[in-house]
Amino acid sequence: MKAIFIVYNQAYNQEIVDLLEGLGQRGYTVWEEVGGRGSESGEPHLGNHAWPTQNHALLTVVEDALAAPVMDRLRDTDRSNRDLGLRAYVLPVEDAL
């Protein structure tokens, strides 16, 4: 199994959830109002008066075979909308219950 950790502009939450559900992935955990700043480009999302936008972070655990299709769809989404501030990371899951 693989864990996919996704961070994105909060305004796009439904788009990310729909992307996962469209691939048959039902389960996820989301953290709302997450602040941060990208390492390469983009504006900070800090939820303050200077930088009012915030992010959401989402973690989903998928079967190994689904990790690549999810990442491919996320890449397509990122390419078509740079304002999303999308970052995603695939991590191994060693154990789960």
Tens digit of each residue's pLDDT, the chain (97 residues): 999 999 999 989 999 999 999 999 999 999 999 988 877 777 788 888 888 889 999 999 999 999 999 999 999 999 998 777 899 999 999 998 8
DSSP letter at 20 equals H
**Residue 48 burial (CB count, 10 A):** 11
Instruction: For residues 97 and 52, give the distance between their C-alpha atoms in angstroms, rounded to a whole number.
Output: 38
Q: Residue 88 has which token pair?
A: 């995603």
The candidate with the shortest Cα–Cα distance to 87, out of 48, 50, 56, 47, is 56
User: Most distant CA pair in the chain: distance in Å?
Assistant: 43
So where are the chain's domains? Answer: 2-92
Options 1.10.3720.10, 3.30.70.120, 3.40.50.720, 3.20.20.60; which CATH number does 2-92 get? 3.30.70.120
Instruction: Report pTM.
Output: 0.91
Q: Residue 71 has which token pair?
A: 């990442």
Q: Which residue has the tokens 């800090």?
A: 46
